Amino acid sequence: MGSTKSERYFVFMNYDPEYERLRADRTKRGACELDMYLSRKHDELLANTLEHGSYEKTISLVIVDGFAVEITEDQASVLRSASGVRVVEKNQELPS
């Protein structure tokens, strides 16, 4: 059994033609639509995969189809097998 301590993980998604289409629209409206699309998509993945209230999404990343989330090691394993997820990586702090 993994740790129950929550840590920051980055989740990157598989190729999504809708993401690519929205990302190609360089207008202010297009940027807003992309932000809303990704936030909704990432929120739905978490809501459908993990127990409500057991995680905290901190940001959706627009430059790549991904997001940061505070989760446990066990939750990271669950997300790794979720449909549409390409990579789940624990944040690595660099020494000062």
pLDDT per position as a tens digit, 43-89: 999 999 999 999 999 999 999 999 999 999 999 999 999 999 999 99
Question: And the tokens for 95?
Answer: 């020494």
Q: What residue ranges in 14-90 does DSSP mark as E strands?
A: 56-61, 66-71, 85-90
Q: What is the mean pLDDT of residues 29-55?
A: 96
Q: How confident is the model at residue 38 (pLDDT cuts 50, 70, 90)?
A: very high
- Given a contact cutoff of 8 angstroms between Cβ atoms, the answer to whether 43 and 57 are in contact is yes
pTM metric for this prediction: 0.89
Q: What residue ranges in 1-96 does DSSP mark as E strands?
A: 7-13, 56-61, 66-71, 85-90
